[in-house]
Amino acid sequence: MTIAIVIILLVIATLLFHFISPWWFTPLASNWQAIDDTINISLWVVGTVFVAVSLFLAFVVFKYRHNKDRRADYQPENSKLEGWLTVVTTIGVAAMLAPGLVVWGEFITVPKNSEIVEVVGQQWHWSYRLPGKDGKLGKTSIKLISEDNPFGLDVNDIYGADDLLVNSNVLHLLIDQPVKAVLRSKDVLHNFAVPQFRVKMDLVPGAVTFVWFTPTKLGRYELLCEELCGIAHFTMRGYIKVDSVSDYQTWLASLPTFTQTLARDTANIEQGKQHYASCVSCHGIDGQGNDAMNAPKLAGLSRWYLHRQLSYFKQKIRGQNNADLYGQQMAAMSALLPDDKAIEDVSAYINSLQSIKSKPVTTGDAIKGKSFYKNCAYCHGEHAQGNFAMNAPKLAGQHAWYLKRQINAYQQGIRGKHPADLYGKQMILMSKSLHDQRAVNDVVSYINSLPSVK
């Protein structure tokens, strides 16, 4: 009796939860009403069956409850019952699957008048590319990715020259214009999903996948990476702004072509040198670093890495932890660089300095360190030369005491914890593969023994 009542209450609670709860789809902002319809049909089919079966169960539990004077009867076959159960189940399953097939047919049929936009995923951000005037995207290869060519475009492919590059996580789309988003990953699996557009698709390294939709409402929508495999995909956010014609044209006009990005180096090394004057007291005239001032070597570091660290210091992303004494010092110094242009200039100047090899240390076992370093080489490169595509800086040539301090800072979460620190979290995880201080010393000795090639 009690169980029958519990089952009935469960059915009532489930229905109430479904109809009263505020959690439902975000308002639709694309042409994909069909996806909502399919989900609704599935819910109705499954919901009806759930209610019917549960109530039947409650009825049976009640009707055939224990009674001293009754005995259970065993009936192995009932072809009549099985017959109509099969028919009803078949209709139910078909009702759930058939609409899905129809929608899938639409899903893979891209309208002829679609515009193409490429969406590039990478741990952990998005960038985009439009085909330019010729309407064709140029060829790309992961192997061609470099600091100057982050999309890995083939310079010999004529279709690539006028491609428009969006080096930001915000993509603009024109309202009521169907788009075919071709999806490419630079590293691991990712997933392109805008809840308001309903459609989503995986990005698979080595393949180009696609998804199409027509945005139907002006606004700014969050682009999520809904990939589960791997780490921290939830931090990978972008935005899609659906524009009116004039806003969209303004945005298009602001985009550089691939050729322009290759030619464009606006850094002013002379200005950078002047900015660097205030850094000399700690980092040294040649950017060689100074252990008495706890200041690392800067010469030899790439521009993109210098740029990112200086921006992090300035935006209070690095050097804010109370235990980060040295980072705090540097964060204060970053105020000497008034704006992004100054950061760009000083980074270019520092990068032009000749890297002088720092003193080797012998505190650890470089041979053991070499085996620890295997994990690190995946990102930092076999010769610790750094790798732009992995966002990993050069380590070779850096002072051992500084490397140790950074590894420890990551291990203790003093560096890399800030939510806006895109790459610090990886290093926190990686630094924990070194289980004790001995291992840290060993790997640093190994890095320290490597020649510092520029």
Closer residue to Cu ion, CB minimum distance, 190 or 318: 190
Question: Which stretches within 64-187 are classed as H helix?
Answer: 79-107
**Which amino acid, residue 120?**
V
11 binds, among Cu ion, ligand HEC, none (CB under 5 to 8 A by kind): none
Contact between 393 and ligand HEC per CB under 6 A: yes
Three-state SS for 211?
A: strand
405 is an interface residue for ligand HEC by CB under 6 A: yes
425 part of the interface to Cu ion, by CB under 5 A: no
- Give SS3 for 385: coil
Whichever of 163 and 345 has its CB closer to ligand HEC, that residue is: 345
- Helix, strand, coil percent content, the chain, rounded in steps of 5: 45, 15, 40
223 within 8 A of 193, measured Cβ to Cβ: yes
Site for Cu ion in 220-239 (CB under 5 A): 225, 227, 233, 236
In this structure, the chain runs to a length of 454
Does 376 help bind ligand HEC (rule: CB under 6 A)? yes
Rounded-to-integer distance, Cα 121 and Cα 236, Å? 9
Give me the least distance between CB of 437 and ligand HEC, in Å please. 13
174 closest CA partner among 114, 238, 112: 114
Could you tell me which stretch among 97-105, 128-136, 200-208, 423-431 binds ligand HEC (CB under 6 A)?
A: 423-431
311 counts as binding ligand HEC under rule CB under 6 A: no
Partner whose binding site includes residue 261, from ligand HEC, Cu ion, none (CB under 5 to 8 Å by kind): none
Instruction: For residue 182, give the H/E element and its range.
Output: strand 179-185
Token pair in block for residue 423? 């790459």
Question: Which one of 49-57, 128-136, 140-148, 370-378 is the stretch in contact with ligand HEC (CB under 6 A)?
Answer: 370-378
Do residues 343 and 314 touch, judged by C-beta distance below 8 A?
A: yes
State the number of binding residues for ligand HEC (CB under 6 A).
46
Name which of ligand HEC, Cu ion, none residue 201 binds, using a CB cut-off of 5 to 8 Å depending on partner kind.
none
Selection from ligand HEC, Cu ion, none that 448 binds (CB < 5 to 8 A by kind) is none
Taking the C-alpha atoms of residue 160 and residue 155, their distance in angstroms, rounded to an integer, is 7
The least distance separating ligand HEC from the CB of residue 193, rounded to whole angstroms, comes to 24
* 284 token code pair: 């040294």
* Residue of 190, 233, 380, 417 interacting with ligand HEC (CB under 6 A): 380
295 touches ligand HEC by CB under 6 A: yes
Sketch the per residue contact string, 190 through 219, with Cu ion: x for CB under 5 A, - otherwise.
Answer: x-----------------------------
Which of Cu ion, ligand HEC, none has residue 225 at its interface (CB below 5 to 8 Å by kind)? Cu ion
Q: How far is the CB of 150 from ligand HEC (least distance, A)?
A: 15
Say which residue the tokens 């660097």 belong to: 276
One of 40, 281, 354, 371 touching ligand HEC (CB under 6 A)? 281
Edge-first strand order for the sheet with 115-122 is 164-166, 125-130, 115-122, 179-185, 209-213
d(CA 422, CA 420): 6
Pick one of Cu ion, ligand HEC, none as the site partner of residue 379 (Cβ within 5 to 8 A by kind). ligand HEC
Question: Which one of 57-65, 165-173, 179-187, 290-298 is the stretch in contact with ligand HEC (CB under 6 A)?
Answer: 290-298
The footprint of ligand HEC on residues 75-104 (CB under 6 A) is none
Choose among ligand HEC, Cu ion, none what residue 171 binds, the Cβ cut-off being 5 to 8 Å by kind.
none
Amino acid present at 280: V
Closest CA to 192 of 209, 178, 207, 179: 209
Q: What is the distance between the alpha carbons of residues 301 and 406, in angstroms, rounded to a whole number?
A: 15
* Interface segment toward ligand HEC; rule CB under 6 A; list 54-62, 203-211, 247-255, 322-330: 322-330
Q: Smallest distance from the beta carbon of 179 to Cu ion, in angstroms?
A: 20
Q: What letter does residue 179 receive in the DSSP assignment?
A: E
From the list ligand HEC, Cu ion, none, which binds 403 (C-beta under 5 to 8 Å, kind-based)?
A: ligand HEC
DSSP-derived letter for residue 392 is B
Say how many residues touch Cu ion, by CB under 5 A.
5
**CA 334 to chain CA centroid, nearest Å:** 28
Using CB atoms within 10 A of its CB, is residue 345 exposed (0-12), middle (13-18) or buried (19+)?
buried
Report the distance separating Cα 391 and Cα 386, nearest Å.
8
CA dihedral for 128, 132, 135, 138, sign (positive or negative): negative
Smallest separation (angstroms) from ligand HEC to the CB of 274: 11
Which partner in ligand HEC, Cu ion, none is near 58 (CB below 5 to 8 A by kind)? none
d(CA 317, CA 330): 12
Q: Are 380 and 423 in contact (CB under 8 A)?
A: no
Q: What is the contact surface with ligand HEC in residues (CB under 6 A)?
A: 275, 278-279, 281-283, 293-296, 298, 301, 306, 308-310, 326-327, 329-330, 333, 336-337, 346, 375-376, 378-380, 390-393, 395, 403, 405-407, 423-424, 426-427, 430, 433-434, 443
Give the interface with Cu ion as residue ranges (CB under 5 A): 190, 225, 227, 233, 236
